[in-house]
Amino acid sequence: MADLEFRIVAETFDSMERITSRTQLTLLLVRLFKETPPEVIDKIVYLIQGKLGPEWKDIPELGVGEKMLIKAIALAFKVNEDKVVKLYRELGDLGRVAEKLCSEYRSKLKGAGQGLLAFMGGTEEAKLTVTRVYESLYKIASAQGEGSRDLKLRILAGLLADAKPLEARYIVRFIEGRLRVGIGDATVLDALATAFGGGVHAREVIERAYNLRADLGLIARIVVEKGIEALREVRPSVGTPIRPMLAERGRDPAEILRKVGGRALVEYKYDGERGQIHKKGDTVYIFSRRLENITSMYPDVVEMVKKHVKADEAIIEGEIVAIDPETLELRPFQELMQRKRKYDIHKIMKEVPVAVFLFDIVLRDGQDLTMKPLLERRKNLEEIIEKSDTFTLATSMITSDPDELWNFFLKAIEEGSEGVMVKAVHDQSIYRAGIRGWLWVKLKKDYKSEMTDTVDLVVVGAFYGKGKRGGKLSSLLMAAYNPDTDTFRTVCKVATGFTDEELERMQDMLKEYIIPHKHPRVDSRLTPDVWLEPKIVAEILGAELTLSPMHTCCLGNVRPGVGISIRFPRFIRWRPDKAPEDATTEKELYEMYRRQLRKVEEEVKA
């Protein structure tokens, strides 16, 4: 089987680490992809993503902590662990530690000659391949049970011993989850389009295929082996999650109805966990908004699906909501999160029962429904669902009247929902997987006043506190997402809303994502005490949106040289259910600012 030297991947990563231009990063990826044999293109993509495969495949975690990594480095390069720890304190990067020790080790072996080299078990000419690195890492992740720790250690030490210094750096960083190459999925899609689709015009075809089969390695392999046209034939498949369709947000019922074409299906927006439910015979999978396999959290939902979905094969979407066990009234999202526990799920299931409110279908007995208008999809959904009190369709109505929409919205709030979803029903109201647009619009209860509406922002940096909080990271630099440039642009610093317990937990949580420089996907005028990888999403509430010369969100959109910021921001909660790319967008904040400005102008005129 054709393969690729891992050295080429490591050199590409090294070049990427020094580049902040997304265009240059894309060109580096294009060059790497063109050098890669088709047989390993999927593995290359996974390594770039910093994982061994898509999250939904339930690939075990590597299970290699800092102590084991230090021990493996010491074992690989024939030094004691104290030396590794000392170097780690000096360099602050275990990847650099491995690189330095690897270089020293190889110099000693080269100077000692081939006899000592063979005696010590090394091989100067050993060349790591992508396949060996990937399969070794997969074996490490798969090692379970008694003796697994020693097996992980042996595999890792053997891999490092055969690595060149630069390769050692990135093997260690991969294991730590800190590649620091600044590449998001959008950049990979651009590079695949340029390398194998004839140019960026092919991005749309590749992205649609990826949205329907959320496995970027698989999509890369298809386009390399079969060509761009093969991706046009990609359809939803049970067991492989689809990237969910996303919604814009609005505040005024009349304006929202105009945006969606004048007439709309309006549904309750429940305060729960969005679930993408796959059924084939008696096999059921449930995937989260982030495409994680959450089937084990909801054994009761699995039984509901088997009983109430009258189709052999289906992919349907709904909201899983906590309910009161006696009254069946809706309960808040926070209560549902108790289901996240890994143990005693059947006990928690009784304490926190759930109901499922379905709102869409994308596959029915082999028929791809993603290109069908919403009302046709809704009809298909109704035909296969046998309703019950806890497994039913989302409460809905069809209207073209703003007043009727507003009254329905108020009714939804009164009954415990967050608000309503307003969805286009015209002929082009297809299911646009992975896309945010005006086919779906959220109207939530907070949208009727300045900034009582919360936003979801990404942590990109942190500042140390003073006084009681001295020495602790206690203020976070938050950013909104710009999907057009695949970047995160700063909006505010948030330091309030954290309990003492949350502050303590936050120190360990942030430590995992600290990097020595600004991430290539972050656009910031401020320089925090520490930079962080844009991985963590938090829900933030503020008093109002205001112009700021310090922040880059919507920079220049309102006035030259100034961006938009949040005044008096306050932390509400972490959003582990959301990926960074699911955060509130720059465009959404700009629209919120414009609505706020119009309201102020109306009040002044009045």
Nearest to 81 by CA among 67, 92, 91, 94: 67
Please tell me the distance from the alpha carbon of residue 153 to that of residue 121, in angstroms, as a whole number: 16
Identify the band that residue 154 occupies on the pLDDT scale cut at 50, 70 and 90: very high
Q: How many domains does the chain have?
A: 3
191 pLDDT higher than 60: yes
pLDDT of residue 597: 73
- Encoded tokens for 350: 């009784």
Average pLDDT over residues 580-592: 93
Shared-domain flag, residues 402 and 461: no
Nearest to 246 by CA among 83, 76, 101, 437: 437
pLDDT of residue 229: 94
Please tell me the distance from the alpha carbon of residue 314 to that of residue 366, in angstroms, as a whole number: 8
Q: Which residue has the tokens 């006696």?
A: 326
119 pLDDT higher than 90: no
117 pLDDT higher than 70: no
Please tell me the distance from the alpha carbon of residue 46 to that of residue 26, in angstroms, as a whole number: 16
Nearest to 372 by CA among 243, 236, 202: 236
For residues 584 and 326, which has the higher predicted lDDT (pLDDT)? Answer: 584
Average pLDDT over residues 583-593: 92
116 pLDDT higher than 60: no
Buried b (16+ CB within 10 A) or exposed e, 373-403: bbebbbebbeebbeeeebbbbbbbeebeeee
DSSP 64: -
pLDDT of residue 433: 94
Q: Tell me the pLDDT tens digit for each residue of 503-513.
A: 999 999 999 89
Please tell me the distance from the alpha carbon of residue 276 to that of residue 294, in angstroms, as a whole number: 10
What CATH number is attached to the domain comprising 70?
1.10.3260.10
State the alpha helices, DSSP H only, in 143-251.
148-161, 165-176, 185-196, 203-212, 216-226, 228-231
- Encoded tokens for 474: 């206690």
Average pLDDT over residues 541-566: 88
Residue 12 lies in a domain: no
Shared-domain flag, residues 421 and 503: no
What CATH number is attached to the domain comprising 483?
2.40.50.140
Shared-domain flag, residues 165 and 253: no
Shared-domain flag, residues 462 and 439: no
- Encoded tokens for 6: 């891992």
pLDDT of residue 602: 58
Residue 237 lies in a domain: no
Please tell me the distance from the alpha carbon of residue 187 to that of residue 233, in angstroms, as a whole number: 23
- Encoded tokens for 520: 């290539």
Q: Which residue has the tokens 């690595």?
A: 163
- Encoded tokens for 47: 């390594």
Shared-domain flag, residues 267 and 360: yes
Q: Tell me the pLDDT tens digit for each residue of 557-582.
A: 988 888 999 888 899 999 999 999 99
Q: Tell me the pLDDT tens digit for each residue of 355-379.
A: 999 999 999 999 999 999 999 999 9
pLDDT of residue 183: 86
Q: Tell me the pLDDT tens digit for each residue of 200-257.
A: 899 999 999 999 999 999 999 999 999 999 999 999 999 999 999 999 988 889 999 9
Partners of 482 in the beta sheet? 487
pLDDT of residue 18: 85
Average pLDDT over residues 105-131: 68
- Find the domain containing 118 and state its range: 51-176
Residue 29 lies in a domain: no
Q: Tell me the pLDDT tens digit for each residue of 377-405.
A: 999 999 999 999 999 999 999 999 999 99
Identify the band that residue 456 occupies on the pLDDT scale cut at 50, 70 and 90: very high
Partners of 347 in the beta sheet? none
Buried b (16+ CB within 10 A) or exposed e, 463-480: bebeeebeebbbbbbbbb
Residue 472 lies in a domain: yes
Average pLDDT over residues 424-430: 97
- The enclosing H or E element of 32 equals helix 22-35
Shared-domain flag, residues 434 and 380: yes
Taking the CA atoms of 545, 548, 550 and 554 in sequence, report the sign of the dihedral they define: positive
Residue 4 lies in a domain: no
- The enclosing H or E element of 284 equals strand 283-287
pLDDT of residue 449: 39
Cβ atoms of 165 and 184 within 8 Å: the answer is no
For residues 59 and 530, which has the higher predicted lDDT (pLDDT)? Answer: 530
- Known catalytic residues are 269
Residue 221 lies in a domain: no
What CATH number is attached to the domain comprising 437?
3.30.470.30
Q: Which residue has the tokens 């004048």?
A: 262
The angle that helices 66-76 and 148-161 make with each other, rounded to 10 degrees, is 50
DSSP 215: -
Average pLDDT over residues 25-30: 94
- Encoded tokens for 108: 């000693």
Shared-domain flag, residues 340 and 484: no
Which of 401, 426, 448 finishes a domain?
448
Backbone angles phi and psi of 275, in degrees to 5: -125, 130
Residue 596 lies in a domain: yes
Shared-domain flag, residues 498 and 435: no
Q: Tell me the pLDDT tens digit for each residue of 311-344.
A: 999 999 999 999 987 778 888 887 888 888 767 8
Shared-domain flag, residues 427 and 509: no
467 pLDDT higher than 80: no
DSSP 449: S
Shared-domain flag, residues 66 and 123: yes
Q: What are the distances in angstroms from CA 417 to CA 270, 359, 502?
A: 5, 14, 27
Cβ atoms of 64 and 173 within 8 Å: the answer is no
Nearest to 566 by CA among 580, 536, 582, 586: 586
pLDDT of residue 326: 72
Average pLDDT over residues 486-495: 95
Q: What is the average pLDDT score of the chain?
A: 90
Which of 158, 176, 194 finishes a domain?
176
604 pLDDT higher than 50: no
Residue 187 lies in a domain: no
Q: What are the distances in angstroms from CA 220 to CA 52, 227, 338?
A: 15, 10, 37
57: left (phi over 0), alpha (psi -120 to 50) or beta: alpha
Which of 448, 474, 502 finishes a domain?
448
Partners of 301 in the beta sheet? none
pLDDT of residue 179: 84
Q: What percent of the chain has pLDDT over 70?
A: 94
Shared-domain flag, residues 435 and 461: no
- Encoded tokens for 143: 């090692």
Nearest to 461 by CA among 505, 494, 483: 494
447 pLDDT higher than 50: no
Please tell me the distance from the alpha carbon of residue 593 to that of residue 494, in angstroms, as a whole number: 19
Please tell me the distance from the alpha carbon of residue 582 to that of residue 539, in angstroms, as a whole number: 12
Residue-wise DSSP of 234-282 = ---BTTBPPPPPEEEE-S-HHHHHHHTTS-EEEEEE-SSEEEEEEEETT
Shared-domain flag, residues 339 and 461: no
Q: What percent of the chain has pLDDT over 90?
A: 70
The angle that helices 94-112 and 165-176 make with each other, rounded to 10 degrees, is 150
Identify the band that residue 448 occupies on the pLDDT scale cut at 50, 70 and 90: very low
Nearest to 150 by CA among 74, 215, 208, 64: 64
pLDDT of residue 112: 65
Q: Tell me the pLDDT tens digit for each residue of 285-310.
A: 999 999 999 999 999 999 999 999 99
